[in-house]
Amino acid sequence: MRRATFIAACIIAAMAILVPVLNLWVPADSALHIPDHLVPLLGKYLCFAILALALDLAWGYCGILSLGHGAFFALGGYAMGMYLMRQIGSRGVYANPILPDFMVFLNWKDLPWYWYGFDMFWFAAIMVMLVPGLLAFVFGWFAFRSRVTGVYLSIITQALTYALLLAFFRNDMGFGGNNGLTDFKDILGFNIQSQGTRAALFAATALTLAAFLLMLQWIVASRLGKVMVAVRDAESRTRFIGYRVEHVKLFAFTLSAVMAGVAGALYVPQVGIINPGEFSPANSIEIVIWSAVGGRGTLVGPIIGALTVNAGKSYFTAAFPDAWLLVLGALFVCVTLFLPRGIVGTLSEWWEKRPQRTAAQAPVASMEAAQ
């Protein structure tokens, strides 16, 4: 498994170079050229792959089935969106140097305090991780300490994202209400629409995914990673050998939320908008489906799942716009029934089963010998 992860990380890192090169420097009439519209689309898929990987840390490795990970993704996205809004400056429709257009439209006079600092990239970058991380930490601290598990936990995570959906729809929250944040101009001084910036954003996304993949490989191979799996498989047993299960879960859940926030922050400049729809409960459920299809409890699986399901989604929503949800539902049912370990899980199981086990039997005899 470790080998597969390193190979995957190398492929993804190579894409960070290859895709920009094939887009920017290979002539448009070449068969190898990657058309402009494809770059942000691929970048979007990779953001979803990061998100699926993040969920897998919590669900696949630690058994926390979060149905609210879309919320952490959206919060990271909003933090980045706030930075991008403030970059617009006086170029907005109302040409207000400080207030974003929607605030001027609402007749607001002052910037709300929670928008302070977002004119600085480093501040926004910290918030991208801090806000989802803090929410997950506080939420998890109460939930895991009170030993809320299984379906109950899944339901309250759904409730969490639904509550945020409703809150962000309100205009007086100060996040652009229904329309969200959009019409971005620059990121770090570069035109967000230019092909060079888009290629750079793609590369940043691919490198982030590769880095997260290696980080998670290190974590799951550590003793803590083994403890997470132990918590997933036999929570009370883990407790009875002296581990603080709630701390282990809190670590996995919080780190996972931070990763989801980073995915959201990379997503927003590439799609050019963030709105409350990202908090919709259905989005969070889709993340679970990506991970399940690819293979939860493996690191490469969720990435493959996110890429294939979203490529399928792009195809189906164009070819048969009404059929997508049915296809997605059918896919989930089929995977649950026929590939319960997902694509990668099933493949690796098949791989491991090939060499016949030769482990000796007659355990009584061996124990007798030991005594």
The token pair that represents 221 in the structure block = 């191979």
CB atoms within 10 A of CB 52: 33
CB of 149: closest distance to another protein in angstroms?
15
CB of 224: closest distance to another protein in angstroms?
4
Q: Which is nearer to another protein, 91 or 226 (CB)?
A: 226
CB of 28: closest distance to another protein in angstroms?
48
Q: Which is nearer to another protein, 62 or 335 (CB)?
A: 62
Phi-psi region of 348 (alpha: psi -120 to 50; beta: other; left: phi over 0): alpha
CB of 209: closest distance to another protein in angstroms?
22
Q: Which is nearer to another protein, 227 or 262 (CB)?
A: 227
Q: Which is nearer to another protein, 204 or 219 (CB)?
A: 219
- The set of residues, in sequence order, having a beta carbon less than 8 Å from that of 74 and lying 6+ positions away, is 161, 164, 168, 264, 274, 276, 278, 279
The site for another protein (CB under 8 A) is made up of 219, 222-224, 226-227, 229-230, 233-234, 236-245, 247-248, 251, 357, 359-360, 363-364, 366-371
| The CA-based dihedral angle spanning residues 217, 154, 158, 218, taken in that order and rounded to the nearest 10 degrees | -10
Q: Which is nearer to another protein, 91 or 147 (CB)?
A: 147
- The set of residues, in sequence order, having a beta carbon less than 8 Å from that of 155 and lying 6+ positions away, is 67
Q: Which is nearer to another protein, 1 or 207 (CB)?
A: 1
Strands 186-187 vs 181-182: parallel, antiparallel or unpaired: unpaired
Exposed (0-12), middle (13-18) or buried (19+): which is 242, by Cβ within 10 Å?
exposed
Q: At residue 201, what are phi and psi to the nearest 5 degrees?
A: -65, -40
CB of 295: closest distance to another protein in angstroms?
14
- Residue with tokens 């926030």, as numbered in its chain: 261
CB of 253: closest distance to another protein in angstroms?
12
